[in-house]
Structure 1
Amino acid sequence: MTDIETPRRPLAMAIFLIVVGALGWWAAFQLTIDKFLVLENPDAALNCNFSLIVQCGKNLSSWQGAVFGFSNPLLGMGGFVAPIAVGVGLLAGARFARWFWAAFNVGILGALIFIGWLISQSIFVLGTLCPWCMLVWLVTIPLFWVVTSRNLAEGVFGSRAVGFGKGLRSWAIPVTVVCYAVVALLAQLRLDIIGHLMVGSL
């Protein structure tokens, strides 16, 4: 009787997807609760409102906070279930088809584009940094780079991209840090976050 070798499960990828999905879902959930509080009482004191700059009340009350006619956090509560489900599936030994990984990647790309627009609106139009929104940004950016590099390296988008994907895999974290740095720099240049923090500490 011969032993059949079981394919090794991508444990790191599975845990990563579950963690970022759970963090993103929790942020969206908190924003949804805050939205209900604002609807009930527009003058409600939200736990995420720390100052004129760091707050979520202004974002939730703006039209940018409900682009599709309903509160944006509802998109997050639905969307972040996907990486959690994929991560749990991988832990259970599931092997997803190539088209599934491609569709999953496209969905994450859509999320990245959307939060990119929300970041620009938050910094340059609303002049605020929403704590829960920033948590969504924090997890969506690495989610895109990690999943994209994985799919490229595994040939999801064709054999010609495999070499590039393998190289990108080792750069996924540095690229994510660069993205964080760009957002932080834009926020500092536009909103002078450090200056506000120094004044608030006096």
Structure 2
Amino acid sequence: MPERPSHPRPTAMAVWLIIAGVIGWWAAFSLTMERLHLLADPDAIASCDFSILVQCTANLESWQGSVFGFPNPILGLTGWVAPIVVGVAILAGARFARWFWWLFELGMLFAFAFVIWLITQSIFVLGTLCPWCMVTWIVTIPTFYVVTLHVLRAGLVPVGPRVRRGAAALMGWVPLLAVVSYAIIAVIAQVRLDVLGNQF
């Protein structure tokens, strides 16, 4: 039998998981189509190539773009289905066992760490900003925050009451946390790549 937590159904989180999942999946699908297009015609120019700095091709054709031996967007095509399914299931009244939340949080932790690594590779190694990749960054970061705070506030991991209360309080600040995260990335990109100077 699934363990039934005492907290109310996280409806707002469920809605966000669906929205983020759909956006993330669409970004992964678009990148996959761009990759297939480039494989079919190596001389083609990707539709998301706007300049030397803002483009998809350099990222897709680099080894960083196929870390596990296949194009990274395939991870997104499969991975973003999970938040959509979880969000819909929560709205339908589903309750998940503690072990399920642990696995879901582990998946989000992997996604978050992978995105941070890709951001550093994009800015410091490749020197490019991939538009569809940035869409993935935009939805992955707050999704990780939301799921992590939910797991903590619901007591799904062994933490004390103070941590649970803190996580519950921080849940309302996720939009600000996300904006601060985006700002940090933007500042790093500007300092490293002079984005504004190269685009305008």
Question: Shorter-chain TM-score: what band?
Answer: over 0.9
Question: Which residue is 2:42 aligned to?
Answer: 42
Q: What are the equivalent positions in structure 2 for 1:5-20 lying under 5 Å apart?
A: 9-20=9-20
Q: Residue 170 of structure 1 is aligned with which of 167, 172, 175?
A: 172
Distance 1:167 1:8, change over 3 A: closer
Q: Which residue of 2 aligns with 1:115?
A: 115
Deviation, structure 1 residue 14: 1.3
CA RMSD of aligned residues (A): 1.3
- TM-score when scaled to structure 1? 0.91
Bigger radius of gyration among the two: 1
Structure showing greater relative contact order (alpha-carbon pairs closer than 8 Å, 6 or more residues apart)? 2
Whether the 8 Å CA contact 1:18–1:83 is kept in 2: the answer is yes
Aligned CA distance change for structure 1 residues 128 and 157 (closer, same or farther; 3 Å): same
Q: Which runs of 5+ in 2 are unaligned?
A: 1-6
Contact between 1:188 and 1:194, CA under 8 Å: does it hold in 2?
A: yes
The 2-side partners of 1:21 and 1:115 are apart by 15
CA distance in 2, matches of 1:48, 1:192: 20
Q: Percent of aligned positions with the same letter in both sequences?
A: 55
Equivalent residues in 2 for 1:46-61 (5 A)? 46-61=46-61
Tell me by how many angstroms 1:11 deviates.
2.4
Query: Displacement, 1:9?
Result: 4.1
Query: 5+ unaligned residues in a row in structure 1: which ranges?
Result: 1-6
Q: Equivalences for 1:1-202 in 2 at 5 Å?
A: 9-160=9-160, 161-198=163-200
Give deviations 1:34-71, integer Å, cap 9, x for gaps.
Answer: 00011111111211000000000010000000001100
C-alpha displacement at 1:163, in angstroms?
Answer: 2.2
Q: Describe the superposition over 1:60-98 as per-residue Cα deviations: whole angstroms up to 9, x where unpaired.
A: 000000001100000011100000000010111101111
